[in-house]
A and B are shown apart, each in its own frame.
Chain A
Amino acid sequence: MLRDAWLIAVKDLRIEWRSRVTLSQIVPFAALVLVLFGFALDANRPVLETATSGLFWVTVMFVAIMAVQRSTAVEVTDGARRALLLAGIEPIAVFVGKTVAIAAQLLVVQVLLVAGVIVLYGASVDQWVLLLVTCLVATVGIAASGSLLGALVAGVRARETVLPILLLPILAPVLIGATRAFDDALGSVAVDGWAWLGLLAGFGAINLVLGALAYGVLLEEI
Chain B
Amino acid sequence: MTKINQTASAPTGTGSRFTFWLGLTVIVGVVVLVLLGFFAAPEDDEQGDAVRMIFVHVPSALLTYVAFSVTAFGSLMWIWKRSVWWDITAHAAAEIGVIFCGLTLFTGSVWGRPTWNTYWDWGDVRLVTTLILFLIMIGYLSIRSSGGDEGATSTRAAIIGLVAAVNLPIVNRSVEWWFDRTLHQKSSLTDGNLEDMTLFSLVVGIAVWAAFFLWAMIHRFRIAWLERELRVGDLNEAIAERRAEALQDESTQR
For chain A, which range describes its interface: under 10, 10 to 19, 20 to 34, or 35 or more residues? Answer: 20 to 34
Given A206-B166, A218-B155, A222-B152, A172 and B143 contact (CB-CB distance below 8 Å): no
CB distance from B19 to the nearest CB of A (A): 33
Distance in angstroms between the alpha carbons of A58 and B100 in the assembled complex:
30
Distance in angstroms between the alpha carbons of A169 and B137 in the assembled complex:
10
CB distance from B36 to the nearest CB of A (A): 37
Residue-wise, chain A 188-222 has the 8 Å CB interface mask toward B (1 for contact) of 00000001100100110011001000100110011
Residue-wise, chain A 143-173 has the 8 Å CB interface mask toward B (1 for contact) of 0010011001101111000100110111011
Tell whether A97 is near chain B: CB-to-CB under 8 Å. Answer: no
Residue-wise, chain B 170-183 has the 8 Å CB interface mask toward A (1 for contact) of 11011101100000
Interface centre among B2, B163, B175 (most CB of A within 10 A): B163
Q: Within 8 Å CB of A203, what residues of B? A: 167, 170
CB distance from B177 to the nearest CB of A (A): 7
Interface centre among B138, B142, B156, B175 (most CB of A within 10 A): B156
Tell whether A180 is near chain B: CB-to-CB under 8 Å. Answer: yes
B139 in complex: contacting residue of A162, A176, A202, A218, CB < 8 Å:
A162
Quick check: B139 and A166 within 8 Å, CB to CB? yes
Quick check: A152 and B142 within 8 Å, CB to CB? no
For chain B, which range describes its interface: under 10, 10 to 19, 20 to 34, or 35 or more residues? Answer: 20 to 34
Distance in angstroms between the alpha carbons of A34 and B108 in the assembled complex:
35
Tell whether A177 is near chain B: CB-to-CB under 8 Å. Answer: yes
Given A172-B174, A177-B174, A217-B79, A155 and B152 contact (CB-CB distance below 8 Å): yes
Quick check: B139 and A173 within 8 Å, CB to CB? no
For A158, give the chain B residue with the smallest CB separation.
Answer: B146
CB distance from B163 to the nearest CB of A (A): 6
Quick check: A206 and B170 within 8 Å, CB to CB? yes
Distance in angstroms between the alpha carbons of A195 and B143 in the assembled complex:
35
Q: Within 8 Å CB of A165, what residues of B? A: 135, 138-139, 142
CB distance from B53 to the nearest CB of A (A): 26
Scan residues 129-153 of chain B and give those whose CB is less than 8 A from a CB of chain A: 132, 135-136, 138-139, 142-143, 146-149, 151-152
Distance in angstroms between the alpha carbons of A172 and B175 in the assembled complex:
9
For B164, give the chain A residue with the smallest CB separation.
Answer: A170
Quick check: B166 and A210 within 8 Å, CB to CB? yes
Given A162-B143, A169-B139, A199-B174, A156 and B156 contact (CB-CB distance below 8 Å): yes
Distance in angstroms between the alpha carbons of A180 and B174 in the assembled complex:
10
Tell whether B22 is near chain A: CB-to-CB under 8 Å. Answer: no
Distance in angstroms between the alpha carbons of A210 and B163 in the assembled complex:
7
Quick check: A176 and B178 within 8 Å, CB to CB? yes
Distance in angstroms between the alpha carbons of A217 and B147 in the assembled complex:
19
CB distance from B131 to the nearest CB of A (A): 9
Tell whether B162 is near chain A: CB-to-CB under 8 Å. Answer: yes
B160 in complex: contacting residue of A152, A196, A202, A217, CB < 8 Å:
A152
Tell whether B199 is near chain A: CB-to-CB under 8 Å. Answer: no
Given A173-B170, A199-B170, A218-B156, A210 and B148 contact (CB-CB distance below 8 Å): no
Quick check: B139 and A157 within 8 Å, CB to CB? no
Quick check: A176 and B136 within 8 Å, CB to CB? no
B136 in complex: contacting residue of A153, A157, A169, CB < 8 Å:
A169
CB distance from A158 to the nearest CB of B (A): 7
Distance in angstroms between the alpha carbons of A153 and B160 in the assembled complex:
11
Quick check: A172 and B159 within 8 Å, CB to CB? no
A170 in complex: contacting residue of B138, B156, B163, CB < 8 Å:
B163
Quick check: A202 and B148 within 8 Å, CB to CB? no
CB distance from B204 to the nearest CB of A (A): 34
CB distance from B141 to the nearest CB of A (A): 10
Given A172-B171, A196-B177, A156 and B155 contact (CB-CB distance below 8 Å): no
**24 pairs from A and B in contact (CB 8 Å cutoff):** A148-B159, A148-B163, A152-B143, A152-B156, A152-B159, A162-B146, A165-B139, A165-B142, A166-B139, A168-B135, A170-B164, A170-B167, A173-B167, A173-B171, A173-B173, A196-B177, A206-B170, A210-B162, A210-B166, A214-B159, A214-B162, A218-B156, A221-B151, A221-B152
Task: Apart from A153-B156, A165-B142, list 12 A-B contacts with CB within 8 A.
Answer: A152-B156, A156-B146, A162-B143, A166-B136, A170-B136, A173-B174, A199-B170, A206-B170, A210-B166, A217-B79, A217-B159, A218-B159
